């Protein structure tokens, strides 16, 4: 018969009650400690949050009371103009002769709006798209030419060959673009009219187009012959007059 005081599996020196109490105390201590978080997930210290809050309040107060701190006028006096450095001059677009300036503009418009149908050589395809080379529709009356560009052309017309419909190209076109494309086609691809269709003339063309009885519809050969076989109004500009290549405004010759 075994003795009731025996402690199976335990050494004689181990007190079960004390060991249990010690484990309970250690578990409680572990529970009171913060759990170790994975890297990057640690909570932000309240101290750091407090410091950031104070900085934000101070910065807001400074910006709120700054008034025109970031306004250009508060840093430079009214009417201020920068003085060029000694020996240096302000460089802007160099003036060009009017014909060259308008044609440079027109070349870009032709490439965007006309090249697809009339081709890079403006000769068309001989059947659907007419040639612009030597065409009286291009080289003669400027108002007629402008109406075709702005409104398109419907109904059969003939320039040796009978052609059909041309879509309007004036949608979104500005007066300087119209002036450029007309000047370009009239003086390129073997056409040598030698004149400049000015922005003033192009504006007149747009006004005439808007005032047509059938405004919004393509023009016909009959309408062109009856109403638009004429020269656009506007002062004639000498092709060698120097102009600003961006605005086409006449400018004085640069000083040598």
Helix pair 175-186, 98-113: axis angle to 10 deg: 100
Q: Identify the pLDDT of residue 49.
A: 86
Q: Convert the pLDDT of each residue in 147-170 to its tens digit.
A: 999 999 987 776 667 777 889 999
pLDDT top residue among 124 and 202: 202
pLDDT surpasses 80 at 54: yes
41 token code pair:
């997930």
pLDDT surpasses 90 at 206: yes
Domain ranges of the chain: 96-243
Q: Identify the pLDDT of residue 158.
A: 67
- Residue 190 backbone class (left: φ over 0; alpha: ψ -120 to 50; beta: rest): left
Q: Identify the pLDDT of residue 181.
A: 97
- Which ranges in 12-139 belong to alpha helices (H)? 16-32, 46-64, 72-75, 98-113, 115-118, 136-139
The torsion of the CA quartet 53, 57, 60, 64, rounded to 10 degrees, works out to 170
Asked if CATH classification 1.10.3720.10 holds for the domain at 96-243, the reply, yes or no, is no
């Amino acid at each position: 018969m075994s003795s009731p005081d025996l402690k199976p599996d335990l050494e004689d020196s181990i007190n079960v009650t004390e060991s249990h109490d010690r484990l309970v105390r250690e578990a409680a201590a572990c529970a009171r400690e913060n759990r170790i978080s994975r890297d990057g997930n640690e909570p932000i210290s309240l101290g750091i949050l407090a410091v950031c809050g104070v900085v934000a309040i101070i910065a807001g107060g400074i910006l709120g009371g700054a008034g025109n701190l970031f306004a250009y006028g508060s840093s430079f006096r009214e009417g201020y103009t920068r003085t060029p450095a000694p020996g240096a001059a302000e460089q802007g677009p160099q003036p060009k002769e009017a014909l060259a300036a308008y044609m440079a503009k027109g070349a870009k418009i032709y490439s965007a709006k006309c090249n697809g149908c009339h081709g890079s050589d403006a000769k068309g395809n001989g059947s659907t798209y007419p040639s612009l080379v030597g065409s009286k529709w291009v080289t003669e009356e400027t108002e007629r030419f402008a109406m075709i560009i702005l409104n398109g052309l419907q109904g059969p017309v003939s320039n040796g060959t009978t052609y059909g419909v041309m879509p309007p190209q004036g949608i979104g076109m500005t007066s300087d673009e119209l002036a450029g494309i007309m000047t370009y086609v009239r003086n390129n691809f073997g056409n040598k009219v030698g004149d400049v269709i000015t922005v003033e003339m192009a504006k007149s063309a747009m006004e005439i187009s808007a005032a047509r009885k059938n405004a919004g519809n393509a023009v016909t050969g009959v309408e062109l012959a009856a109403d638009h076989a004429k020269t656009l109004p506007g002062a004639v500009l000498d092709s060698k007059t120097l102009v600003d290549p961006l605005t086409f405004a006449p400018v004085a010759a640069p000083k040598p």
